Amino acid sequence: MNTPSLTDFTRARSSERPILLTGGAVITVDRDVPDLPTGDVLLTGSRITAVGPDLRSDPVHAAAAASALVLDTRGAIVSPGFVDSHRHAWETQLRRSIPDVTDLGEYVMSTLSGIAPVYTPQDMHTGTRLAALTALDSGITTMLDFSHNSRSSAHSDAALQALVDSGIRGVHASMAPHFGTWDQQWPADMGRLMDSFHGANDGLVSLRLAALSTDEIAGPGVAYGPRLAAIARDLGVWTSIDAVFGQPSSQAILRWAEQGILDPTLTLIHCTGLSPLAWAAMGDAGVTVSLAPTSDAQIGLETAVPAVDEALLAGIRPGLSIDVEVALASDMFTQMRALHAIQRMRATNAAYGTEETAPNRISTRDVLDFATLQGARANALGDVTGSLTPGKDADLLIVRADDINNMPLNDAVGTLVLGSDARNIETVLVAGHARKWDGQLVGVDIDTLRDEVTGSRDAIISRVAGR
């Protein structure tokens, strides 16, 4: 695959000279814009201008395509970037420190109670930036950071600045810490954060409120209810609600419906073990859902079964998320494959059991939709990203389909979902900016990053040991 230099690409993007990606398989994840076995994607500045089989022969776009900088994408797949709708990014220095965690309680006590209180603002920046850069490297162009260690204004500022510094399309969901001393500045500090960071980095950074579904884990101060709903409404932001599982959350959801605060501005996370009545209320209210397939199954959250069938039955197409890297994988490929396998196993097994009806088996196209467009909708960015739709921002991937693990290309969606991984990602664009080029992150000194991350981890462990 022949490409121009990064310098030439950057110059074209900055001057809004058209850029033509041509010759590759194109997956749009837009029902109104057909996939193409071989096709073109035309970019201008930050936006997708057109998608078609041969734009240089298209009367509407021929002139722009003829003047464009050309990227030859033969032997590759062009697709939307993945969208992570829930990750606790600050923890990333401790990734895989508890790979065999037994349950939610162990995670809460080891990480949220044992480690979170010793984090400095610089640790927040280091962990969040590492998570964002790892996301970009594996094709995630948008990441919602559920930042539930906002111990001070400085901690929040550092986490937000890390999103800016990484170049990812970042959503900062701010929440107070679960345990330990903190400045009690949240949620009042949200207004200042909105003024300082919402729309930062040419609009790539946005904010929302974060909360828990009940007061069981961290008390009533962070449990969603009328007080937090009013704050979010006054700020004009959405709310992400974590730890949504079991009977207590089911009761909370029905209570929110009665209070008039269950609405489309909510994203409910996990959603395992909820009652049919709760799901019906969620579907009627038009909430979005973020599933964390490996978290639910591996850590064992409530039923431990990702609630994709329940969501679909309620008319909700869920987004996907990574959750906690202290115990889980960092990439969206793993989430798609885990959900695809678990759901199809359940659907097939049900046919041999006593259940009267079995759910339909989901497809690779379904999980790709969940990992892109539905995640964007859960992040309140469905009009901006998540599909290769003309007019949306150019958040996209060029994935090598002629590498040894993908060749020969027979089905582009199947190859992207079941065959590919981070090593196959040639290019990552966020709003047309190159964040990964020729298989390498742009502007990132990995050796310096490694020293920073390792130093932060060692300091954190030392502080924990000295308490």
At 356 the pLDDT is: 66
For residue 215, the SS3 value is coil
Report the candidate in 216, 247, 241 with the shortest Cα–Cα distance to residue 228. 241
| Interacting residues of 243 by C-beta distance below 8 A, sequence separation 6+ | 212, 213, 214, 216, 217, 249, 269, 270
What is the residue-wise DSSP string for 141-165?
A: EEEEEEE----SHHHHHHHHHHHHH
At 217 the pLDDT is: 83
Q: Which CATH superfamily is domain 6-80+383-441 in?
A: Urease, subunit C, domain 1 (2.30.40.10)
Digit-by-digit pLDDT tens for the chain (467 residues) are: 557 999 999 999 999 999 999 999 999 999 999 999 999 999 999 999 999 999 999 999 999 999 999 999 999 999 999 999 999 999 999 999 999 999 999 999 999 999 999 999 999 999 999 999 999 999 999 999 999 999 999 999 999 999 999 999 999 999 999 999 999 999 999 999 999 999 999 999 999 999 999 998 878 899 999 999 999 999 999 999 999 999 999 999 999 999 999 999 999 999 999 999 999 999 999 999 999 999 999 999 999 999 999 999 999 999 999 999 999 999 999 999 999 999 999 998 887 866 667 889 999 999 999 999 999 999 999 999 999 999 999 999 999 999 999 999 999 999 999 999 999 999 999 999 999 999 999 999 999 999 999 999 999 999 999 98
Instruction: Count the neighbouring beta carbons within 10 Å of the beta carbon of residue 202.
Output: 9
Residue 415 near residue 423, CB atoms below 8 Å: no
Q: How far apart, in Å, are the Cα atoms of 311 and each of 204, 245, 246?
A: 29, 13, 15
| Chain region(s) in the chain for CATH 3.20.20.140 | 82-378
At 184 the pLDDT is: 97
At 2 the pLDDT is: 59
Cα 30 from chain centre? 18
What tokens appear for 198 in the block? 């919402």
Residue 416 near residue 400, CB atoms below 8 Å: no
Token pair 């901690």 in the structure block, residue: 155
Angle between helices 190-197 and 226-235 (to 10 degrees): 30
What is the residue-wise DSSP string for 260-289?
A: T--STTEEEEEEET--HHHHHHHHHHT-EE
| Interacting residues of 372 by C-beta distance below 8 A, sequence separation 6+ | 29, 79, 80, 81, 82, 83, 386, 387
Q: How far is Cα 193 from Cα 205, in angstroms, rounded to an integer?
A: 11
Span 82-378 CATH architecture? Alpha-Beta Barrel (3.20)
At 464 the pLDDT is: 95
| Chain region(s) in the chain for CATH 2.30.40.10 | 6-80+383-441
At 467 the pLDDT is: 80
For 234-260, letters b (16+ CB in 10 Å) and e give ebebbbbbbbbbbeebbebbbebbeee
At 355 the pLDDT is: 63
Cα 193 from chain centre? 21
